[in-house]
Chains A and B, each alone.
Chain A
Amino acid sequence: MAADTGVGAAERVAGLDRLELGPRKDGGPGVWARKLWKGTWPKVLAIVIVVGAWQLVVLAEWRPVFVLPPPSRVFDELVRVVPTASFWDSVLLTMGRAATGFGLAVAIGMIIGIAVARFQPLRAAIGSLITGMQTMPSIVWFPFAILLFKISEEAILFVVVLGAAPSIANGLISGIDYVPPTWKRVGQILGMRGFGLYRHLIIPAALPSFVSGLKQGWAFAWRSLMAGELLVIVPGALSIGVRLQTSRDLNDAPGLLAYVIIVLCVGIVVDIVFSAADKALRRRWGLTV
């Protein structure tokens, strides 16, 4: 309670949800360490369980070790590969492709989303088409993309954008649909028109749904990219997907699993970024502490 005394009245009444909260405890390194432990142990346990189960399957000799290597072998491979400069070049290349594709998809998805949300005939025409596109496995586009753009960066980019843009557009459309009409009226009263209305009212109001659309869009973009890097091997471009394929060609099981783990790690890191954005947003909306 001692900590509360220094807080101003405005802070104390901000959000009635505070009534639901327990009394704030004293801070300090002990609490901080306990908090860190609390956040970490489930993850550590999850890793221990997965690695343990993996090791058990290996010990049971279900498959020979050169097909299913033990975790230690894969870990050695990771230790060997990750510190090399060429590995980080590959990560940079793959993440560069992901960022370009996702960026383009965001731009295109936003334009389409706003257009569809705003113009009724357009919604009738392509609203369900967008949902249809969203459910389409992006890998089916690759043969056509290769025909259009040959074996090139553009072919990969094309499919990544096609995979991600519909989710982003859909997220924005449903976000806009759920903006309370009273807010729009308030905006009009305050003199907001056209671009200003979108910039200051509708987009911020649609943010929660938009962010989850972005998150889903990212997942689709990342999947399409990995499929693309395995299928469309651009000469000279040593991406993560190409490294995976090379491990396959050289019958290198530890290498294969090492790259699977790396792809998983990239997914987790990006998810952390999105979660942070989501958390910041919820905090702004007063939905969390």
Chain B
Amino acid sequence: MSSRRYRLVAVIAAFVLAAGALTACGGGDDAAGSGGEAGTLRLGYFPNITHAPALVGVQNGIFAEKLGADVKLEPTTFNAGPEAIEALFSGAIDATYIGPNPAINGWAKSEGTALRIIAGSTSGGAGLVVRDGINAPADLKGKKIATPQLGNTQDVALRAWLKTNGLNADQQGGGDVSILPTANSDTVTSFAAGDLDGAWVPEPFFSTLINKHGAKVLVDEKDLWPGGQFVTTHLIVRAEFLEEHPDTVKKLLDGHIAAVDYVNASPAEAQTAANAHLESLNGKKLDPAIIEAAWKNLTYTVDPVATSLQASAQHAQDVGLLDPVDLKGIYALDLLNEKLRALGKPEVSAGELAP
């Protein structure tokens, strides 16, 4: 009887090991290509105006044009950064537009192996809006404030700001101020229904809450940063993808630079294109007035505003969402600078975070 049992155990063990070995061999199914060129580029971005270069670039075919016929563009959208990092980690996307804090977190969690920031995209365009009657930080006690997702850029910004104002908030929505991570579109409906007292959100939700639902600005994040410049969105790629397909990344940068230029050169057309793209994603157009208002709060630039990244990381550490991390090497701006040189534009710098 016992020899039989041994045999059973041995069979099960062999099976488990074989299954493990098989799945181990089944990996590496990334889009194959030759000579540093990928067959497809899977690009992530969010349906926010802070991601306007991506919205316009996809809508007007700027990326498709620069990537050429050999590289297929597969766009994917996310509500907030942690989701996008999850997708990047699991290899579901190759590059994504994203805010600073999820990028920092992804860098920290992978010990600097998963991703590189290859260009800036947007500065500004986020802040805390609240309902009438809240006029000072102290009035926020016992109030419910939404952010896009735990650990995303606006979530960290709110927590850090509350902390400097002597208010506490835990990661589960308890404390002096209850922080409720909520999908941005739900935030607007919940605020309208009176279930929320405010929100720290990116554009266009910032302007939507102000223009449509009578919210007022308690904090414009611009005022918290020296020179009003802080990174809201930048472009990151999977480190592996950058290593294997530098030519595709160069083409992506071509598309990105062209999209940023277009957005800056013809804002009216860009707004229309961004709105049309939002409509194709959400099935609903935004009020052009809101897009116009949002546009005024944003600066589109390929400069990643590297100085603000270290500060964002410090904020995340201060509120206990991040262990101390060395960000040296998170920027890989060589390819971008190569392109900028060729175009006769000023180069950008990673500052102290240069590798």
- Residues of chain A having any CB pair with chain B under 8 Å: 42, 45, 49-50, 52-54, 56-57, 60-64, 66-67, 233-238, 242, 246, 248-253
The interface centre, meaning the residue of A235, A242, A248, A253 with most chain B CB atoms within 10 A of its CB, is: A235
The interface centre, meaning the residue of B20, B82, B105, B170 with most chain A CB atoms within 10 A of its CB, is: B20
Contact partner of B149 (CB less than 8 A), chosen from A60, A238, A249, is A249
Asked if residues A252 and B109 are in contact (CB atoms below 8 Å), the reply is yes
- Residue numbers in A under 8 Å from B23 (CB-CB): 57, 62
Asked if residues A236 and B113 are in contact (CB atoms below 8 Å), the reply is no
Chain B 237-261 interface 0/1 with A at a Cβ cutoff of 8 Å (1 = within): 0000000000000000000000000
Q: How far is the CB of B82 from chain A (nearest CB, A)?
A: 5
Does B338 make an interface contact (CB < 8 A)?
Answer: no
Asked if residues A236 and B106 are in contact (CB atoms below 8 Å), the reply is no
Asked if residues B89 and A66 are in contact (CB atoms below 8 Å), the reply is yes
- Residue numbers in B under 8 Å from A246 (CB-CB): 150, 171-172
Q: Among residues 167 to 181 in chain B, which have CB atoms less than 8 Å away from a CB atom of chain A?
A: 170-175, 178, 180-181
- Residue numbers in B under 8 Å from A42 (CB-CB): 9
- With A53-B16, A56-B21, A67-B90: A236-B170 Cβ-Cβ less than 8 Å: yes
Asked if residues A238 and B172 are in contact (CB atoms below 8 Å), the reply is yes
Q: How far is the CB of B44 from chain A (nearest CB, A)?
A: 14
Asked if residues A49 and B172 are in contact (CB atoms below 8 Å), the reply is no
Q: How far is the CB of A251 from chain B (nearest CB, A)?
A: 5
Asked if residues B20 and A250 are in contact (CB atoms below 8 Å), the reply is no
- Residues of chain B having any CB pair with chain A under 8 Å: 9, 12-13, 16-17, 19-21, 23-27, 82, 85-86, 89-91, 102, 105-106, 109-111, 113-114, 144, 149-151, 170-175, 178, 180-181, 321
Asked if residues B86 and A248 are in contact (CB atoms below 8 Å), the reply is yes
CB-based closest 10 A-B pairs? A236-B174, A235-B173, A60-B24, A66-B110, A53-B20, A249-B150, A62-B27, A62-B24, A249-B82, A251-B85
- Residue numbers in B under 8 Å from A237 (CB-CB): 172, 174
- Residue numbers in A under 8 Å from B109 (CB-CB): 66, 250-253
- Residue numbers in A under 8 Å from B321 (CB-CB): 250
Asked if residues A64 and B105 are in contact (CB atoms below 8 Å), the reply is no
A279→B27 CA distance, assembly (Å): 46
Cβ-closest chain A residue relative to B112: A66
A45→B113 CA distance, assembly (Å): 35
A110→B49 CA distance, assembly (Å): 56
- Residue numbers in A under 8 Å from B171 (CB-CB): 238, 246
Known: A49-B17, A250-B109. 7 other contacts (CB 8 A): A42-B9, A63-B27, A66-B113, A236-B170, A237-B174, A248-B82, A252-B109
A276→B105 CA distance, assembly (Å): 45
Asked if residues A233 and B24 are in contact (CB atoms below 8 Å), the reply is no
A249→B106 CA distance, assembly (Å): 11
Q: How far is the CB of A53 from chain B (nearest CB, A)?
A: 4
A50→B149 CA distance, assembly (Å): 34
- Residue numbers in A under 8 Å from B173 (CB-CB): 233-236
Q: How far is the CB of B333 from chain A (nearest CB, A)?
A: 23
A60→B102 CA distance, assembly (Å): 28
Cβ-closest chain B residue relative to A245: B150
- With A248-B86, A251-B89: A235-B178 Cβ-Cβ less than 8 Å: yes
Contact partner of A52 (CB less than 8 A), chosen from B17, B90, B172, is B17
Asked if residues B111 and A57 are in contact (CB atoms below 8 Å), the reply is no
Cβ-closest chain A residue relative to B150: A249
The interface centre, meaning the residue of A50, A235, A237, A250 with most chain B CB atoms within 10 A of its CB, is: A250
Q: List 10 A-B contacts (CB under 8 A).
A: A49-B13, A56-B24, A61-B24, A61-B27, A64-B89, A234-B172, A235-B172, A238-B172, A250-B105, A251-B109
